């Protein structure tokens, strides 16, 4: 097979399996004297034994099924997964936007011709000559669990469906069109296939790692706060549509749904190309590296900072100020910053900051320095604690949503008792009360 002739789709993750299978396809029925040398990494293990290598390939396909949640024809799912994860000039150009123009299309089609040969390959003769009938196991594999450790359930299902569509495509051109449509709808690589990410830093540098399990909450499920939610969605709508939008600060009382709104935004705008990257205070020095990795992609990115606040002695906010607005390099148009905080002005303020007599000769400068960060958020949205009537309404809506049957008077009486000893009136307290009742039911 011609995997060495690939032009665009090279350096693929999990590509060793493709190389081993290609070698088997090219050599299984060739006399020993005329065979190509087995890949050195496999020669040491199998001593040239094709049968052992073939069994190892079957083993790796089954392991991939357990890791990714694949089912059906695992060989086809594996090939489809290679194509949807390979970030190259063609796939990155097509993400979210769809078909692109230029010579790159010819190069991509050249590679798809080779992949079509892999998809259409008939393993019957190889299985018979090597005496490995067990390959049939991976051609119609029933997974014991569809739960993926790499993808959410929706994306895993789409990749398996993509593999089936490839088999129905009669020509490489049709296969290329199918793949391009996948890139347009879902994107490519980790940034395309996942909703949310966190940042890590090791000796190799700064990495953007997918968060595999994000709470599936929607804005409609958050009871109340219609005006704050509308301000947030208006700004986000403008952002994903390519219009002018502002950085957002969601501030207010604890347990009022600020963080839940951000999670809901990640879920509801994923299909429109929005991605969320969570970052913590101690990682602010990595912000420029993070932005440099995402600024040329076709997605829209929200850098999310939860529970953001600073004490007097903490200076990390200075990195954030420079990144948001103030550095020489212009912030990319596909990046916004959303933060949540219990503090309106983010940085602790003291009465001494405004005193007429204090050690600092320029009191006004001190105040302006502390306000300069929050002023870089063009949209500030207040989330206040609900009053008793609003709290009771939240409880009633959540109880109905969870199918809890209880006289309303008794429900509200128990809710009032609960909030007195569990943090007071808030949406979080209401949810915790309902969870408690559901657990007791």
pLDDT digits (tens, 9 = 90+) for 358-414: 555 444 444 455 566 777 788 999 998 888 998 889 999 888 888 888 888 899 899
Q: Are residues 213 and 173 in the same domain?
A: no
What does the alpha-carbon distance between residue 281 and residue 161 come to, in Å, rounded to a whole number? 41
Tell me if 202 is assigned to some domain.
no
Is pLDDT at 331 greater than 90 in this prediction? Answer: no
Domain range enclosing 94:
3-193
Same domain? For 399 and 418 the reply is yes
Helix (H) or strand (E) holding 437: helix 427-440
One domain for residues 129 and 223: no
Helix (H) or strand (E) holding 305, with range, is strand 300-305
Residue bearing the bigger pLDDT, 415 or 46: 415
Q: Do 293 and 246 share a structural domain?
A: yes
Q: Answer whether residue 186 is part of any domain.
A: yes
* Residue owning tokens 């001190």: 366
362, 397: one domain: no
Of the candidates 147, 262, 264, which has an alpha carbon nearest to the alpha carbon of residue 212?
A: 147
Give pLDDT, residue 21. 93
Section 93-110 average pLDDT: 93
Last residue of a domain, one of 343, 363, 383: 383
Do the domain assignments include residue 258? yes
Tokens matching residue 441: 């039911």
311 and 213 within one domain = yes
Number of H helices, E strands in the chain: 18, 7
For residue 182, count other CB atoms closer than 10 A to its CB: 24
Pairing of strands 196-202, 274-278: parallel
Q: Report CA-CA distances (Å) from 351 to 81, 101, 348, 355, 358.
A: 59, 62, 10, 6, 10
Does residue 271 sit in the same domain as residue 319? yes
263 plus 350 within the same structural domain: yes
Provide the number of structural domains found in the chain.
3
Are 403 and 348 part of one and the same domain? no
Domain boundary among 163, 193, 223: 193
79 pLDDT above the threshold of 90 = yes
- Same domain for 431 and 393, yes or no, is yes
* Band of pLDDT at residue 351, cut at 50, 70 and 90: very low
318 and 396 share one domain: no
The residues that bridge with 249 in the sheet, in sequence order, are 339, 380
Containing 295, the helix (H) or strand (E) segment is none
pLDDT tops 60 at residue 327:
no
- The last residue of a domain, from among 364, 383, 402: 383
User: Is 201 contained in some domain?
Assistant: no
Look at residue 196 and give its three-state secondary structure: strand
Question: Are residues 399 and 350 located together in one domain of the fold?
Answer: no
pLDDT category at 75 given cuts 50, 70, 90 is very high
């Amino acid at each position: 097979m011609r995997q060495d002739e690939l032009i665009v789709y090279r350096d693929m993750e999990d590509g060793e399996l493709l190389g081993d299978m290609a070698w088997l396809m090219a050599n299984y029925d060739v006399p020993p004297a005329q065979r190509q040398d087995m890949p050195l990494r496999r020669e040491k293990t199998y001593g040239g034994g094709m049968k052992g290598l073939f069994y190892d390939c079957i083993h790796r396909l089954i392991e991939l099924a357990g890791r990714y949640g694949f089912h059906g024809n695992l060989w086809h799912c594996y090939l489809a997964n290679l194509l949807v994860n390979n970030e190259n000039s063609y796939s990155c150009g097509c993400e979210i936007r769809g078909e692109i123009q230029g010579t790159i299309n010819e190069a991509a089609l050249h590679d798809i011709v080779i992949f079509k040969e892999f998809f259409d390959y008939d393993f019957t003769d190889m299985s018979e000559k090597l005496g490995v009938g067990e390959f049939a196991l991976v051609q119609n594999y029933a997974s014991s669990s569809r739960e993926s450790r790499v993808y959410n359930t929706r994306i895993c299902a789409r990749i398996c469906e993509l593999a089936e569509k490839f088999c129905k495509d009669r020509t490489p051109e049709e296969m290329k069109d199918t793949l391009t449509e996948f890139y347009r709808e879902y994107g490519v690589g980790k940034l395309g296939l996942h909703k949310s990410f966190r940042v890590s830093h090791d000796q190799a540098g700064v990495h953007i790692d997918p968060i595999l399990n994000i709470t599936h909450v929607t804005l409609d499920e958050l009871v109340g706060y219609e005006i704050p939610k509308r301000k947030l969605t208006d700004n986000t709508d403008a952002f994903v549509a390519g219009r002018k939008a502002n950085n957002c600060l969601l501030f207010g009382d604890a347990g009022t749904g600020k963080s839940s709104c951000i999670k809901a935004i990640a879920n509801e705008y994923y299909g429109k190309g929005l991605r969320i990257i969570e970052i913590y205070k101690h990682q602010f020095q990595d912000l420029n590296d993070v932005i440099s990795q995402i600024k040329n992609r076709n997605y829209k990115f929200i850098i999310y900072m939860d529970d953001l606040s600073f004490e007097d002695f903490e200076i990390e906010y200075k990195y954030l100020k420079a990144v948001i607005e103030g550095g020489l390099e212009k912030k990319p148009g596909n990046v916004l910053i959303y933060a949540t905080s219990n503090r309106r002005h983010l940085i602790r303020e003291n009465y001494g900051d405004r005193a007429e007599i204090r050690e600092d000769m320029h009191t006004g400068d001190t105040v302006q320095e502390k306000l300069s960060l929050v002023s870089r958020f063009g949209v500030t949205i207040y989330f206040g604690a609900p009053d008793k009537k609003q709290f009771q309404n939240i409880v009633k809506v959540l109880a109905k949503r969870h199918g809890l049957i209880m006289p309303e008077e008794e429900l509200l009486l128990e809710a009032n008792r609960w909030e007195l000893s569990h943090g007071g009136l808030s949406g979080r307290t209401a949810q915790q009360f309902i969870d408690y009742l559901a657990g007791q039911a």
